[in-house]
Amino acid sequence: MTRANTLVNEPTIYEIRVKGRLDEKWSEWFHNLTIHFENENPPVTVLKGAIADQSMLRSILNKLWDLNLTLLSVNVNN
Amino acid sequence: MNSSLIATKLYIPRPPVDLVSRPRLLEKLDNALQQGCGLIVLSAPAGAGKTTLLSEWIDSPISDKNTQFSWISLDEGDNDSAHFMAYLLAAIQTVIPHFGESFPIGLQSLQPAQMEALMTLMINELSGLTNRLILVLDDYHLIHTQKVHSTLAFLLEHRPWNFHLVIAARADPSLPVALLRSRGMMTEIRLGDLRFTPAETASLMKLLLDRQLPDDDVLALTSRTEGWAAGLQMAAASMRESEDISAFIRDFSGSNRFILDYLVEQVLQQQPPFVQEFLFKTSILERLCPPLCETLVEIHLSPEDIHSLGLPDSLNAGSPSSQAVLEYLERSNLFIVPLDDHRCWYRYHHLFTDLLGQRLHQLHPQSIPELHCRAARWFAQNGFMAEAIDHALEGKDFETAANWVEEVVEKTMMRSEVVTFLDWVERLPEPFIKDRPLLCINHAWAMLLNGYPGEMIEARLEILDNADDLFTGKTLSLRGYLAIFRGQNSQAIAFAKQAMELLPKQDSFFRSLSAVVLGAALYSEGDEKAGAQAIEMAARVSMGMGNVMIQVIVLVYLAELYRKQGQLHKAYSLYQQALERATQEKGKKLPIAGRVLLGMGEILREWNNPRAEEVLLEGIELSGQWGSVSTLSGFFSLAHIFMAQNNWAKANDLAQKARQLAYYSNITEIDDLIVDIFQARLWIEQGNLSAAREWFMTEGLYRDIDIDEMEKKDDFIAYHMRKYEYPVAMRLWLAEGRFIEAQAFLEGLLIKLEKWERPLLVIENRILLALALYGQRKIEPAINQLEIALRLAEPEGFIRIFLNEGETLHALLKLTVDKLETTSLRVYGQRLLQAFSSGVIQSEKREISEKPSALIEPLSDREMDVLRLLASSLSTPEIATELVVSVHTVRSHIKNIYSKLDVHNRIGAVERGKELGLL
């Protein structure tokens, strides 16, 4: 495995922004990311937390997609 | 239908009762068909109305009578390509009952490599249908394996005009759509198209709420839900009981809460508690039926409950209630989808499953494993083992799951559902695998088939070292297979030999696997004879396996080995055996027969048999259906025929076609080089020496050739290809008059080729050496060389290899024949001379009388019966009576006999039958 790959697979803090206001009770559904309402108008919710690797990130994004949430941004928080 | 398949997956959903017709989208779908689009993609998020639109389309009265629809609701399990193919076949069989029944490949023994072959058979059969067939793949986003994607890409690329594929998915499918899109061969319906317009929202609300909403409310709803069908439907379900609808809409529009949270809460709040409990607990199921639900949730309905649900009074309190609840949910439009017409199986709308699952997680997390275990038991008792195993794994009852996997592993692997099996094993913790040798050996084999890292496979095999002796032979044959992949040939040979000693006779699968390993390893070690023997043995063992495709492939492989070694007769008879197996009852040839015909055609060409061209053309056509690179050799064989006729236009045209084929296939660089070599030869034959010279210069083969390159195993291309480049380079040198250089090089080359036992190449290069000597006026040595070549070539009846060298060789041969002392060799030489002067050799009587089955297509037993009676004085009706069949049947046999014997009447057939020793 190359060095770059190892880096990508280390847990990383991600911030995922979606359109609308998502209830905190969804936290467990999204691998216990914290859910926090960021902005009222337009409404934006931030899901934030440690994501173990790329496949976990992908599963989270898939779940968002499956619930028909509109994805605004995905950022790595250093 | 295969009993392991779930029929509900093939059910075409009926349009809901409360359907808002969407003519603008239906029209788009109809147009797509009329324009001949092969692919229609509906790409939009969950709940956008994809499935409903398709069900309306299928149900719509304007649908052409000659159009038939098949449907598959995909799930995770279909990522196993064998599984997927089984459903594909079953789906088509729902509308074309006997479709695929004549396929020689049983799905029970489908090997992954045969997927494309099976697809080809399907394509052939589809193209023979008169009706238009539309296959819908719903929920395609669940497919993430490349194998399934490429199988579909293959289908799309080769689709018959009357076949259309419709894909509904939450994301764009991983198919080569860009090309189809740019060719206008694809129609897309996306979220923007599926969004409800305000007018459509108004109609939907009128249907669901039974009243006309004011325009403002309609606009507000459409805008809040962004025209999202599922949102609108849930909103309607929430509003149904609401007294002030406008107030609800104001609230809803004013809230910025996640639309699903908001609406599901509204909907659930309106349900009685026992319905809520039912929904939560059954949300763990992918599909539900009343008895299954009953094992998960106990509900006893009181008369009040029955009344509150508006259920028919005939339903007694205490009677099976799951059915009642399911019907209630269906009637109230609560996100339940019937999966059949008799209210047996249902599923929740996927979106709803997620939401209910999330609530269940929150409310009763501890109950989840137990629910899964109950479901697992129910599925197992009812014979749905795959679903039983899935639920047992979800419920973490690993002991039970492992026992069940062990029970079904052999059947699962026999069906080639390798991915399914891997998924199960990978979800089992190690302690539950390591003491089950049957799981371990199959796990190792499955990982090998799927290209897992060697260390993982090795680790799995190590565990088996402590297992029962029963597994030692199997373990060794897999070790051998692994060694081949790692290029450790000598180890592979040792493993395979040991395995074959230990494996019992009845273990024909592992025995033929070991034999193939041994053959391949010996062959790549350079021991071609022993390699061929081993593959021959694999062929014998696989014959007992009843798998036609494996048999044909092994036979063709073996025949190709012999052909490359110049053993034409042996190769030809193997090709004949292969062709027999690759020909179906009605004389229809399987696509794999293409490769067989190409090999036969090449041999017939070498024998200067006039039928070569026709056989090659058929072979090219059949193998073209595979889109296969093996067609290349057919192009070259055919081009050589045209070159011999001085038909340069056709030969150049084929070189061009070969170039394109090689260009589009990216498996190896070798095919491009093969085309280059052929092109160089073509230039030389046409006298375009400067073009050939330029190419050989860039290849470093114009002067001072480093002959040792052909033995450098680390230079893959040089090792495999130089030996084919050299003789062409020599023809250039000869044409340029560089006889001395050519002689020196050819002498060195021949020493190596003889050591390698490459008789075919030896003959070719001996002839070239004879020409190099003849060019120097060294007549005696030239005659000697040609005599050696003749002696080598005589037993296998080579002809074109001499004729292709043209008039110079003709002159040398005339000198040689007079000097030949052996009678048989002189006869052979004279036949060659005759062929030189006539262009085409006379039919080889000797050849044919010794080989009664020299027919390209042998007569069937029944046709033989008819042929025998044709030799009598009986009339056709009398023959029919004699054979107890109809006159019509006899006529069709006679027609086949004429075409196979290439005759036009009864007398001709009888004569030809006698010639061939059939009578």
* Among the listed residues A70, A76, A75, the one whose alpha carbon sits nearest the alpha carbon of residue A22: A70
Task: Answer for the pair B409, B438: CB distance below 8 angstroms, yes or no.
Answer: yes
Task: Answer for the pair B71, B36: CB distance below 8 angstroms, yes or no.
Answer: no
State whether B305 and B232 are in the same domain.
Answer: no
> Does B351 contact A at CB distance below 8 Å?
yes
| Residues in B 385-444 with any Cβ partner in A closer than 8 A | none
- Cβ contacts below 8 Å, chain A against chain B, sum to 53
* Residue B818 or residue B331, greater confidence: B818
Do B256 and A21 make contact, defined as CB atoms within 8 angstroms?
yes
Q: Between B230, B256, B350, which is nearest A20 by CB?
A: B256
- Cβ neighbors of B771 (< 8 A, separation 6 or more) are B734, B782, B805, B808, B809, B812
State whether B502 and B523 are in the same domain.
Answer: yes
Q: Determine, yes or no, domain membership for B590.
A: no
Q: How many domains does chain A have?
A: 1
Alpha-carbon gap: B68 to the closest alpha carbon of chain A (Å): 31
Report d(CA B385, CA B417) in Å as an integer. 14
pLDDT score at B196: 95
- Partners of A44 on chain B (C-beta within 8 Å) are none
% of chain B exceeding 90 in pLDDT: 36
> Does B46 contact A at CB distance below 8 Å?
yes
CB atoms within 10 A of CB B688: 12
Report d(CA B599, CA B606) in Å as an integer. 11
Alpha-carbon gap: A11 to the closest alpha carbon of chain B (Å): 23
Task: Answer for the pair B316, B339: CB distance below 8 angstroms, yes or no.
Answer: no
Q: What share of chain A is helix, strand, coil (3-state, %, to 5)?
A: 30, 35, 30
Amino acid at B402: A
Cis before B759 (ω within 30): no
Q: Determine, yes or no, domain membership for B579.
A: no
- Cβ neighbors of B448 (< 8 A, separation 6 or more) are B457, B478, B481, B482, B485
Task: Answer for the pair B109, B25: CB distance below 8 angstroms, yes or no.
Answer: no
Q: Determine, yes or no, domain membership for B588.
A: no
pLDDT classification of B3: cutoffs 50, 70, 90? low
Concatenated DSSP letters of B298-353: -----HHHHHHTT--TTS-TTS-HHHHHHHHHHHTT-SEEE-STTS--EEE-HHHH
- Partners of A22 on chain B (C-beta within 8 Å) are 258, 261
pLDDT score at B844: 36
Alpha-carbon gap: B634 to the closest alpha carbon of chain A (Å): 43
Q: Determine, yes or no, domain membership for B463.
A: no
- The CATH number assigned to the domain holding A67 equals 3.30.70
> Does B652 contact A at CB distance below 8 Å?
no
Task: Answer for the pair B55, B11: CB distance below 8 angstroms, yes or no.
Answer: no
Helix (H, G, I), strand (E, B) or coil at B186: strand
Report d(CA B83, CA B413) in Å as an integer. 11
Do A28 and B260 make contact, defined as CB atoms within 8 angstroms?
no
Helix (H, G, I), strand (E, B) or coil at B894: helix
Do A66 and B256 make contact, defined as CB atoms within 8 angstroms?
no
Q: Between A20, A63, A66, which is nearest B258 by CB?
A: A20
Alpha-carbon gap: B351 to the closest alpha carbon of chain A (Å): 6
Do A67 and B47 make contact, defined as CB atoms within 8 angstroms?
no
Report d(CA B872, CA B893) in Å as an integer. 16
Q: Determine, yes or no, domain membership for B100.
A: yes
Do A68 and B47 make contact, defined as CB atoms within 8 angstroms?
yes
State whether B902 and B841 are in the same domain.
Answer: no
pLDDT score at B895: 81
SS (H, E, C) B245-298: HHHHHHHHHHCCECHHHHHHHHHHHCCCHHHHHHHHHHCCCCCECHHHHHHHCC
Amino acid at B835: A
Report d(CA B736, CA B416) in Å as an integer. 58
Amino acid at B368: I
Alpha-carbon gap: A25 to the closest alpha carbon of chain B (Å): 8
Report d(CA B168, CA B165) in Å as an integer. 10
Do B258 and A40 make contact, defined as CB atoms within 8 angstroms?
no
pLDDT score at B321: 76
Q: How many domains does chain B have?
A: 7
- The CATH number assigned to the domain holding B488 equals 1.25.40.10
Do B256 and A63 make contact, defined as CB atoms within 8 angstroms?
no
State whether B37 and B123 are in the same domain.
Answer: yes
pLDDT score at B319: 55
Reported as a single tens digit per residue, the pLDDT across A30-73 is 888 999 998 777 889 999 999 988 888 988 998 888 888 889 99
Do B362 and A28 make contact, defined as CB atoms within 8 angstroms?
yes
Task: Answer for the pair B40, B34: CB distance below 8 angstroms, yes or no.
Answer: no
Q: What mean pLDDT do residues B416-440 have?
A: 89
Report d(CA B233, CA B229) in Å as an integer. 6
- Cβ neighbors of B168 (< 8 A, separation 6 or more) are B41, B42, B50, B51, B54, B136, B137, B138, B139, B140
Element (H, E) at B372: helix B368-381
Among chain B residues, CA nearest to A30: B358
Tokens of B823: 């009678």
* Residue B841 or residue B444, greater confidence: B444
Do A68 and B230 make contact, defined as CB atoms within 8 angstroms?
yes
Report d(CA B126, CA B119) in Å as an integer. 10
Among chain B residues, CA nearest to A25: B362
* Residue B318 CA from chain centroid, whole number: 53
pLDDT score at B428: 96
State whether B641 and B722 are in the same domain.
Answer: yes
Q: Between B256, B260, B362, which is nearest A67 by CB?
A: B260
* Residue B33 or residue B100, greater confidence: B33
- Please provide residue A76's backbone torsions phi and psi, each rounded to the nearest 5 degrees: -90, 130
Q: Determine, yes or no, domain membership for B429.
A: yes
Alpha-carbon gap: A71 to the closest alpha carbon of chain B (Å): 12
What number of helices (H) and strands (E) belong to chain B?
Answer: 48, 7
Q: What mean pLDDT do residues B253-270 have?
A: 81
Q: What mean pLDDT do residues B157-186 have?
A: 85
| Domain boundary, last residue among B526, B545, B564 | B545
* Among the listed residues B504, B448, B441, B433, the one whose alpha carbon sits nearest the alpha carbon of residue B475: B441
Q: B126-140, B511-525, B686-700, B773-787: lowest mean pLDDT where? A: B511-525
Interface of A with B (CB under 8 A): 20-23, 25-26, 28-29, 40-41, 43, 45, 63, 65-69
Beta bridge partners, B257, equal A21
Q: What mean pLDDT do residues B210-214 have?
A: 89
Alpha-carbon gap: B201 to the closest alpha carbon of chain A (Å): 19
Identity of the highest mean pLDDT range in B214-223, B395-404, B452-461, B541-550 = B395-404
Mean pLDDT, chain B, rounded, equals 84
Element (H, E) at B165: strand B163-169
User: Residue B866: which domain range?
Assistant: 861-915
Report d(CA B61, CA B596) in Å as an integer. 48
pLDDT score at B664: 60
Alpha-carbon gap: B441 to the closest alpha carbon of chain A (Å): 27
- Partners of B257 on chain A (C-beta within 8 Å) are 20-21, 23
Which of A31, A67, A69 has the most B C-beta neighbours within 10 Å, making it the best mutation to test the interface with B?
Answer: A67
- Partners of A40 on chain B (C-beta within 8 Å) are 256
> Does B171 contact A at CB distance below 8 Å?
yes
> Does B332 contact A at CB distance below 8 Å?
no
User: Residue A71: which domain range?
Assistant: 3-76
- Partners of B228 on chain A (C-beta within 8 Å) are 68
* Residue B605 or residue B573, greater confidence: B605
Among chain B residues, CA nearest to A40: B256
- Cβ neighbors of B87 (< 8 A, separation 6 or more) are B5, B9, B10, B72, B78
pLDDT score at B624: 63
Alpha-carbon gap: A41 to the closest alpha carbon of chain B (Å): 9
| Domain boundary, last residue among B269, B286, B317 | B269
Alpha-carbon gap: B260 to the closest alpha carbon of chain A (Å): 8
What is the rounded radius of gyration, in angstroms, for the C-alpha atoms of chain A? 13
Do B258 and A65 make contact, defined as CB atoms within 8 angstroms?
no
Which of B223, B234, B349, B358 has the most A C-beta neighbours within 10 Å, making it the best mutation to test the interface with A?
Answer: B358
| Domain boundary, last residue among B806, B830, B850 | B850
- The CATH number assigned to the domain holding B885 equals 1.10.10.10
Q: Between B256, B351, B362, which is nearest A43 by CB?
A: B256
Helix (H, G, I), strand (E, B) or coil at B379: helix
C-alpha to C-alpha distances, B286 to B337, B387, B388, B425, nearest whole angstrom: 11, 9, 12, 21
State whether B212 and B293 are in the same domain.
Answer: no
Report d(CA B109, CA B509) in Å as an integer. 11
> Does B188 contact A at CB distance below 8 Å?
no
Concatenated DSSP letters of B91-116: HHHTTSTTTTTT-SS-GGG--GGGHH
pLDDT classification of B855: cutoffs 50, 70, 90? low
Helix (H, G, I), strand (E, B) or coil at B73: strand
State whether B40 and B186 are in the same domain.
Answer: yes
Q: Determine, yes or no, domain membership for B570.
A: no
Do B260 and A68 make contact, defined as CB atoms within 8 angstroms?
yes
- ipTM (interface predicted TM): 0.78
> Does B265 contact A at CB distance below 8 Å?
no
Q: Is the pLDDT of residue B440 over 90?
A: yes
- Please provide residue B72's backbone torsions phi and psi, each rounded to the nearest 5 degrees: -130, 125
Q: Is the pLDDT of residue B129 over 70?
A: yes
Report d(CA B469, CA B550) in Å as an integer. 29
* Among the listed residues B305, B284, B304, the one whose alpha carbon sits nearest the alpha carbon of residue B295: B284
pLDDT score at A73: 93
Helix (H, G, I), strand (E, B) or coil at B134: strand
SS (H, E, C) B497-550: HHHHHHCCCCCHHHHHHHHHHHHHHHHHCCCHHHHHHHHHHHHHHHHCCCCHHH
Report d(CA B114, CA A75) in Å as an integer. 44
State whether B228 and B344 are in the same domain.
Answer: no
- The CATH number assigned to the domain holding B87 equals 3.40.50.300
- Cβ neighbors of B790 (< 8 A, separation 6 or more) are B816, B820, B825, B828, B829, B832
pLDDT score at B104: 59
Residue B614 carries which DSSP code? H
Q: Is the pLDDT of residue B817 over 80?
A: yes
Task: Answer for the pair B92, B135: CB distance below 8 angstroms, yes or no.
Answer: yes
Q: What mean pLDDT do residues B95-114 have?
A: 66
Q: Between B45, B255, B362, which is nearest A68 by CB?
A: B45
State whether B135 and B30 are in the same domain.
Answer: yes
- Please provide residue B47's backbone torsions phi and psi, each rounded to the nearest 5 degrees: 75, 10
CB atoms within 10 A of CB B678: 23
